Structure 1
Amino acid sequence: MTPSHILKILSLLLLSGVLVLSQDYEANYLDYDTDDSLPEDPRLSVPQQPDYDGQLTYWYECASECFCPSSYPFAMYCDHRKLKAVPNIPRHIRHLYIQHNDIEEITSKPFINATSLREINLSYNKLQSSKVDKDVFSTLKELIQLHLEHNNLEDIPSPLPKTLKRLHLGFNKISKIPADATRELTKLTVLDLCSNRLTDAGIKGKILSDMKSLMQINMCNNKLKSMPADLPESIQQISLENNLISSIPAGYFKKTPNLLSIRMPHNKLKSVAYNAFNLSKLMELHLGHNQLFKPFFVPRTLEHLYLNHNDFKGRIELIDLKHEGLFKKCLAHPYFTQTYHSSNGICLFPDLNISLMCPSLDLGNPNMLTYIRLDNNKLRGPVDYYAYRCFPRLIMIFYGNQRKDDEEDSETKKYEKPDRPKRPGGNKAIN
């Protein structure tokens, strides 16, 4: 045997070894559990799509209506196929993607052997609660993630397996959360109920507090008039956009110290307690498109604050600064910002008072706020330079156009950082 033949044989053996190793690595990668990471926003979560070009049929079993790529041997893709029923699911399948079909009914039969399922995506179908078998999901003891958004469900499927961590039910017709539907979901971290028909009467008792691991709850685009009761201590993000909520009870967030994000734009909030958002971990607070007009305390951890499209106002008065009584009155006003000394001066009384939002300075523990949006309020003067002293990390303020009482909203424009005001009676800038 010549040396060239020996080299060819060695090359073939090496190549086969690489292929075997790559297959083992792929299988191990699919076994890797990433569920301990922070939950993703369900509106941004998109199932991974396979590469159909040049794929070889995997030797495992696959439903004839679907596709099982060799690169994802534990996934079965049945999406966008105009299916009217769920096909039989082989035992080894862990990820079932059957979204964007015409399925109205789910029976237990296709799931008899599907003991390995961890993820099911049944979104964008025509599912009806009356046509979903009661125990169809409860027997799936490995199920972690269930997508049922964009269907015609009127009730939350029940019972659900205790292993479930992410439940997506947005864009259905659900009006209530029964206690028996969530009582056993102690491992659930994400609950998405956006764009349903939830009312205050449909959320009673300790329905939410029983979910001890819940980190993210989305109830946007519903018919809630009050804050959902008894949130669990574990909650980190709450989304209540586009409801009818008019107030936040005093001390409401005291039981949720781990909150990172509160999103409540497009509600009917008129005022909140001064310390309502005094949370040690809060990073995002979105209160745009409400009717707020009084300032509140801003926690040091907050990074993004949205107050656009509210009713914060500013009142400007021209006074004679030589008149000692008027000058003292201006200085003593709780909403006083600054005066400019001359024969006459301006006294500005803003409703959005920065000193109330930031009552003290701590150079060793500065406020983390970097972004404020203030457009489409009713402010009448510039943002006080004190804002940049109180919030030293502040990068941008969207001041934009401001409204009159009878003026409609207008587009946002960038508010530039002002020059430092000069000290009264001299040229030295205020530090």
Structure 2
Amino acid sequence: MTPSHIFTIPSLLLLSGALVLSQDYEYTDFAYGTPPEVPRLSVPDYNAQLVYSYECASECSCPSFYPIAMYCDHRKLKAIPNIPSHIRHLYIQHNDIEEITSKPFINATSLREINLSYNKLQSSKVDKDVFSILKEIVQLHLEHNNLEDIPSPLPKTLRRLHLGFNKISKIPADATRELTELTVLDLCSNRLTDAGIKGKILSGMKSLMQINMCNNKLKSMPADLPESIQQISLENNSIASIPEGYFKKTPNLLSLRMSHNRLRFIAYSAFNLSKLMELHLGHNQISKPFFVPRTLEHLYLNHNDFKDLNVSLMCPSLDFGNPNMLTYIRLDNNKLRGQLDYYAYRCFPRLIMIFYGNQRKDDEEGSETKKSEKPERPKATRLST
């Protein structure tokens, strides 16, 4: 096995713009890592009224310096307490709650955020219309529960919906029909199948910017994503191909994450997008190069089946007045022989790092790895140029 090599250029640029998913995908016990703990206090709502009754459920706490929030987390609760009318933020995660009834929410006319993650919620014990009566709600956390269905109907004011780590296998049309203001939909680590999201289930969410469907059972790309989409996370599925022209309906795409799938072939111009900045395709079975858009900054092709990388195909023309933005490319654990063509530095003049790493021999195990295995991260050796 040849020693690891890494080619660097002195300066280091950061991924710019609104893109927040700039770190390399880490394969952990969960599909996209353990989510960060919800902060104990939210940013104060300066538009809130200055005078409150300080009413608070006896099972919870409502800080006097932030009386619009009620903290009921980590208290072994089995039911949701009654919520006073002035409360805007309800934190009731990490409890033993199995059911949601309408009674605690009768007076909760000001609620904007609910965190019910890390409980024992069951779909059969969630009252119908329990959330639809909340006319101000914008953020709902239901991840890490035992839900088999998406609660519906949901209020049209909702902007962020977190449903990761449940047992959801489909997205019914009535669950998303009114969600025209939704910007973030997280469904990672569920049981979604192609049949469960067929039709125009997603296209009606006209404001959707980020969709997470990592660690599910998808075999094909989700259909009819809205034009507004900017970030797509599909890691840890069984997707074998990307249809030609698939991204024509999503011209605003900034980030695509598809590591740990079964991709073999990608149409040459599949990623001919004017805004794409980050592309994760590691841990697949890709062997042929494709067109790299000018805006792309981070490209991950590690753990694939490339025997050579024709940079001329990736970059068919040079434009020194409008150069390619690529700064980082990861190529370890392919079947490459020899160093990358020096033309790469002409084509991608802003390259900071080419992570070449270890390469496999033709007779070594292919790039398709068992999802239960944790791939080793190659050790980097820096060499100045």
Q: Pick the aligned partner of 2:380 from 411, 414, 427.
A: 414
* Superposition deviation, residue 353 in structure 1: 0.6
Q: Pick the aligned partner of 2:40 from 49, 63, 72.
A: 49
Report SS of the residue matched to 1:269.
Answer: coil
- Which range moves more in the overlay, 383-392 or 290-299? 383-392
Q: Which residue of structure 1 aligns with residue 223 of structure 2?
A: 229
Matches within 5 A, 1:173-322: 173-313=167-307
Residues 281-300 of structure 1: per-residue CA shift (max 9 Å, x gap): 00000000000000000000
TM-score by length of 2: 0.85
* Superposition deviation, residue 310 in structure 1: 0.1
Q: Which residue of structure 2 aligns with residue 375 of structure 1?
A: 332
Change (3 A) 1:354 1:416: farther
Change (3 A) 1:40 1:158: farther
Contact 1:107 1:133 in 2 (8 A): yes
For 2:117 and 2:172, the matched residues in 1 are separated by 22
Contact 2:54 2:64 in 1 (8 A): no
For 1:410 and 1:135, the matched residues in 2 are separated by 47
* Superposition deviation, residue 48 in structure 1: 2.6
* Superposition deviation, residue 411 in structure 1: 4.2
For 1:103 and 1:249, the matched residues in 2 are separated by 43
Structure possessing the higher relative contact order (Cα contacts under 8 Å, 6 or more residues apart): 2
- How many residue pairs match? The answer is 340
* Superposition deviation, residue 49 in structure 1: 1.1
Report SS of the residue matched to 1:356.
Answer: helix
2:359 maps to a residue whose letter is Q
For 2:39 and 2:376, the matched residues in 1 are separated by 39
Q: Which residue of structure 1 aligns with residue 321 of structure 2?
A: 364
Question: Sequence identity, in percent?
Answer: 84
Contact 1:399 1:413 in 2 (8 A): no
For 2:150 and 2:222, the matched residues in 1 are separated by 17
Report SS of the residue matched to 1:355.
Answer: helix
Q: Which residue of structure 2 aligns with residue 388 of structure 1?
A: 345
Q: Which residue of structure 1 aligns with residue 100 of structure 2?
A: 106
Q: Residue 160 in 1 paired to residue 117 in 2?
A: no
For 1:211 and 1:45, the matched residues in 2 are separated by 26
Q: Which residue of structure 2 aligns with residue 317 of structure 1?
A: none
* Superposition deviation, residue 71 in structure 1: 2.1
Residues 238-263 of structure 1: per-residue CA shift (max 9 Å, x gap): 00000000000000000100000000
For 1:90 and 1:265, the matched residues in 2 are separated by 45
Report SS of the residue matched to 1:201.
Answer: helix
For 1:376 and 1:418, the matched residues in 2 are separated by 22
Change (3 A) 1:91 1:239: same
Change (3 A) 1:364 1:39: closer
* Superposition deviation, residue 267 in structure 1: 0.2
Q: Which residue of structure 2 aligns with residue 340 of structure 1?
A: none
Q: Which residue of structure 1 aligns with residue 68 of structure 2?
A: 74
Q: Pick the aligned partner of 2:85 from 85, 91, 97.
A: 91
2:216 maps to a residue whose letter is N
* Superposition deviation, residue 75 in structure 1: 0.3
Q: Which residue of structure 1 aligns with residue 29 of structure 2?
A: none
Contact 1:288 1:310 in 2 (8 A): yes
Report SS of the residue matched to 1:187.
Answer: coil
Residues 158-179 of structure 1: per-residue CA shift (max 9 Å, x gap): 0000000000000000000000
Q: Which residue of structure 2 aligns with residue 405 of structure 1?
A: 362
Contact 2:182 2:205 in 1 (8 A): yes
Contact 1:62 1:76 in 2 (8 A): yes
Q: Which residue of structure 1 aligns with residue 4 of structure 2?
A: none
Residues 309-352 of structure 1: per-residue CA shift (max 9 Å, x gap): 00001xxxxxxxxxxxxxxxxxxxxxxxxxxxxxxxxxxxx3x1
2:304 maps to a residue whose letter is N
Q: Which residue of structure 1 aligns with residue 9 of structure 2?
A: none
Report SS of the residue matched to 1:174.
Answer: coil
Alignment gaps of 5+ in structure 1: 1-36, 52-57, 314-349, 420-431
For 2:81 and 2:363, the matched residues in 1 are separated by 59
1:49 maps to a residue whose letter is R
1:136 maps to a residue whose letter is V
1:357 maps to a residue whose letter is M
Report SS of the residue matched to 2:237.
Answer: coil
Contact 1:400 1:411 in 2 (8 A): no
For 1:209 and 1:307, the matched residues in 2 are separated by 30
2:354 maps to a residue whose letter is I
Residues 118-174 of structure 1: per-residue CA shift (max 9 Å, x gap): 000000000000000001100000000000000000000000000000000000000
For 1:160 and 1:99, the matched residues in 2 are separated by 20
Contact 1:401 1:411 in 2 (8 A): no
* Superposition deviation, residue 38 in structure 1: 6.4
Matches within 5 A, 1:321-336: none
Q: Which residue of structure 1 aligns with residue 49 of structure 2?
A: none
Contact 2:19 2:254 in 1 (8 A): no
Higher-helix-fraction structure: 1
